[in-house]
Structure 1
Amino acid sequence: MRQIRRHQDTGLALTIGVLSGLLGYWLRMPLPWMLGPMIGTTTAAMLGWPVRGPDKLRPIVIPVIGVLLGSGITAELFGQLGSWVLTLTLLPIFLCVAAGFSYVVYRKLGHYDPVTAFYAAMPGGLNEMLILGGAAGGDEKKIALAHAARVLLVIFLVVLYFGVFLGVRSGAGGRGFVPLNALSLADYLILGACAVLGVIGARRLNLPAAAVFGPMILSGAVHIAGWVHVAPPSVIIITAQIVIGTVIGARFVGATLKEISRDIGIAAVATFGMLAIAVAFAETVARVMGMPLSQAFLAYSPGGLTEMSLLTLTLGQDIAYVSVTHIIRITIVIAIAPTVFRLIQRRP
């Protein structure tokens, strides 16, 4: 009976996600297939509706997203590696400044304890920061809420920025609609193998963000080799966006706006600050390297790897540049966060 109820709750969440996506598309909302489900499911969760995120679909969708990201990697991109140096050099400095600002917000404005404030402020993956923060004695509920709110707000504000200030609007993949029959059976088999073998190989090699990074590498390789030429079908990209948007919104289940309005407000202040810092660093990179501000801004925006990579694909930006920057960001945060926290604790 409980299993049936879970399926019903997941079905309700996906129904809300699809309908919200259609509404967003009809309203010509920027990135409607992710932003619509995200807003719709979040609203339903806050109203206390019995929604459950399609978490079992996420492990399937994420490798597919990795394959989609790899399809945007071309041999010509390797000639642009020199333009990545400044971005990656400034990345640790950006992380220190952004995380430092966010930590001060959670400590001084939110009055969080030091452990909770530290792991809530780190712009890393939600699951990783939740595990590390919980092990260190932090408030797991507040840490989870801080990161869920950060991802939601970053996506919303980045899409708003692209739509209002840069005039970029895209519904599927930034490449025009690609039908399912545009790929041959061989194309589907090759890309399917990239998804499965990429995850397995990346996990065995202990690569960061294995579910995305592995398939992306193999997909990029087969596209560069010329084994697959066609762009990914738009319906797959749309489906991935609906699932991801619904999962993000469903993270707020069990928390009413009245109960958590203060914590969300604090998270909003921290997120606004990190995005403002991201704009400043992106401006520097864009001016010095002569690259589009939109591209540098996506690379520094402190959202989730999967969400920001999918957003990059949808907006037609440089997938390899943005994805690699986010993979390195999350790797740095996961690798040094515990050490930095211990050093802070030792201060008199």
Structure 2
Amino acid sequence: MPRSAVFSGIATLGIGTLGGLCFFWLNLPLPWILGSLSATALISLTTEFRPALPAGWRNVAHIIIGTMLGAGFTPEVISGAANWAISILAMLLLSAVFFAVNYWAFRRLGRMDRTTALFAAMPGGMAVMTLLAEEYGADAGKVALSHISRVMVLLITAPFVIQAISGIDVADANQAAFTNAESIIPRQHGILALAAVLSWFVARRIPIPSAMLLVPLFISAALHMTGTIYAHVPPHLSNLAQIAVGASVGTRFGGYRLLDIVRHGWMGAVVAVFMAAGALLAALILAPLLGYGSAALYISYLPGGAPELSVVALALMIQPAMVAAHHVIRIFAIVLALPLAARIVKRQDRQGPDG
């Protein structure tokens, strides 16, 4: 790895950490991810320095988060997992509605071409959509800004909505992670660390989206479901992963002017508000019918990034296993639907422009 990349990565983590510490000191919600995101985005937009994290460092953060999420799949949680089916079906239907409305909005209001609107409208899979957009002939810049603004709006608003509908004091959760931290148990945490390292080697060889998040999730979940271990990722390591995830979103603003962000990102923010309202309405309606808390359903239905919103569930301890299951299934559904949707769009393009 070039020395410049290492320096840039260290500086970026330092900026993210300072942002997290500021948010923590101010007792703001989700300080490590939102503080890091805000600080790196601010530096990206207002200075010549371009924060950046080496891909390998981001992968380590995803490995940690996947391992953390897997720890939520305890035998007690799995015994009730069959009841998630109706909620997951509702999430998939809601995601289809989100996509249809988003596509219309990006086409008619955002004046995007069909292919760009297709990738910008997908309710999730920010990294996958951004990577594949150019390959399919979409405007990658517009797609990236649409997804970045969507995730940023959802991440910033989620804690306040959660506090309003559940009564959870999201600020108190900042201290709880430290005051309720479990002791280090060498054998338990040693197995967890080995599982994380194994996950990294396996994920490198599996060509599936979000492998660095999903493989450790599955391995950690298997260990916890079977009762082999019960240990969790230590809070300081968890916070470092959150800082890296927040920074990875904030660094995406690098290279864009504020005018570009306003011009191409405003529709992403608008559809994010629409999707947040739809997720909230669905959660409030289904919570009493399904017997789950409205906050857990709200985070499960929010079409944000799987790592980012899973971190929200972990930080606030709102049924992270259920939330992760919903987001993992959404990612797979999007990846499976994308080729078919792209073929339909290409066929429409060959038939000529519409009005």
TM-score by length of 2: 0.89
RMSD over equivalenced CA pairs, Å: 2.3
Q: In the alignment, residue 82 of structure 1 is paired with which amino acid?
A: A
Residues 16-69 of structure 1: per-residue CA shift (max 9 Å, x gap): 211111110111101111111111111111113413222331111111111111
Give the aligned partner of residue 261 of structure 1: 262
Give the aligned partner of residue 231 of structure 2: 230
TM superposition shift of 1:192: 1.8
Q: Distance in 1 between matches of 2:61 and 2:229?
A: 20
Q: Distance in 2 between matches of 1:3 and 1:336?
A: 38
Q: Distance in 2 between matches of 1:279 and 1:340?
A: 27
TM superposition shift of 1:293: 0.3
Q: Distance in 2 between matches of 1:173 and 1:325?
A: 25
Q: Distance in 2 between matches of 1:345 and 1:186?
A: 55
Q: In the alignment, residue 100 of structure 1 is paired with which amino acid?
A: A
Structure 1 pair 142–84 and aligned structure 2 pair: CA distance change class (3 A): same
Q: Distance in 2 between matches of 1:246 and 1:207?
A: 23
Q: Distance in 2 between matches of 1:153 and 1:279?
A: 14
1:190 pairs with 2:191? yes
TM superposition shift of 1:257: 1.3
Residues 149-170 of structure 1: per-residue CA shift (max 9 Å, x gap): 2222211111232245544312
Structure 1 pair 129–207 and aligned structure 2 pair: CA distance change class (3 A): closer
**SS of the residue aligned with 1:222?**
helix
Q: Distance in 2 between matches of 1:299 and 1:195?
A: 25
Give the aligned partner of residue 7 of structure 2: 8
Q: Distance in 2 between matches of 1:94 and 1:11?
A: 40
TM superposition shift of 1:345: 4.3
1:32 pairs with 2:39? no
Q: Distance in 2 between matches of 1:216 and 1:236?
A: 16
Q: Distance in 2 between matches of 1:237 and 1:256?
A: 32
Give the aligned partner of residue 289 of structure 2: 288
Q: In the alignment, residue 34 of structure 2 is paired with which amino acid?
A: L
Give the aligned partner of residue 23 of structure 1: 22
Q: Distance in 2 between matches of 1:257 and 1:218?
A: 42
Give the aligned partner of residue 146 of structure 1: 146
Structure 1 pair 286–23 and aligned structure 2 pair: CA distance change class (3 A): same
**SS of the residue aligned with 2:53?**
coil
Number of residues paired by the alignment?
345
Matches within 5 A, 1:194-213: 194-201=195-202, 209-213=210-214
Matches within 5 A, 1:212-251: 212-251=213-252
Larger displacement relative to structure 2 (323-332 or 273-282): 273-282
Structure 1 pair 298–176 and aligned structure 2 pair: CA distance change class (3 A): farther
Larger displacement relative to structure 2 (319-328 or 188-197): 188-197
Give the aligned partner of residue 178 of structure 1: 181
**SS of the residue aligned with 1:325?**
helix
Q: Distance in 1 between matches of 2:30 and 2:73?
A: 22
Q: Percent identity?
A: 29
Q: In the alignment, residue 50 of structure 1 is paired with which amino acid?
A: F
Q: Distance in 1 between matches of 2:282 and 2:164?
A: 21
Give the aligned partner of residue 104 of structure 1: 104
Structure 1 pair 173–83 and aligned structure 2 pair: CA distance change class (3 A): farther
Structure 1 pair 26–122 and aligned structure 2 pair: CA distance change class (3 A): same
Structure 1 pair 214–175 and aligned structure 2 pair: CA distance change class (3 A): farther
TM-score by length of 1: 0.91
**SS of the residue aligned with 2:133?**
helix
- 1:102–1:271: 8 Å Cα contact kept in structure 2? no
TM superposition shift of 1:323: 0.5
Unaligned runs of 5+ in 1: none
TM superposition shift of 1:202: 5.8
Q: Distance in 2 between matches of 1:133 and 1:320?
A: 30
Q: Distance in 2 between matches of 1:31 and 1:342?
A: 40
Structure 1 pair 259–210 and aligned structure 2 pair: CA distance change class (3 A): closer
**SS of the residue aligned with 1:216?**
helix
Give the aligned partner of residue 273 of structure 2: 272
Matches within 5 A, 1:145-164: 145-164=145-164
TM superposition shift of 1:79: 2.2
Q: Distance in 2 between matches of 1:53 and 1:81?
A: 38
- 2:95–2:303: 8 Å Cα contact kept in structure 1? no
**SS of the residue aligned with 2:160?**
helix
Q: In the alignment, residue 340 of structure 1 is paired with which amino acid?
A: A
**SS of the residue aligned with 1:171?**
helix
Give the aligned partner of residue 133 of structure 1: 133
Structure 1 pair 300–173 and aligned structure 2 pair: CA distance change class (3 A): farther
- 2:61–2:242: 8 Å Cα contact kept in structure 1? no
TM superposition shift of 1:174: 5.2
Larger displacement relative to structure 2 (31-40 or 182-191): 182-191
Residues 105-139 of structure 1: per-residue CA shift (max 9 Å, x gap): 21111111111011011023223212332222110
Give the aligned partner of residue 80 of structure 1: 80
- 1:42–1:252: 8 Å Cα contact kept in structure 2? yes
Q: In the alignment, residue 85 of structure 1 is paired with which amino acid?
A: A
Structure 1 pair 144–135 and aligned structure 2 pair: CA distance change class (3 A): same
Give the aligned partner of residue 50 of structure 1: 49
Larger displacement relative to structure 2 (326-335 or 80-89): 80-89
Structure 1 pair 85–13 and aligned structure 2 pair: CA distance change class (3 A): same
TM superposition shift of 1:145: 1.5
Q: Distance in 1 between matches of 2:76 and 2:259?
A: 51
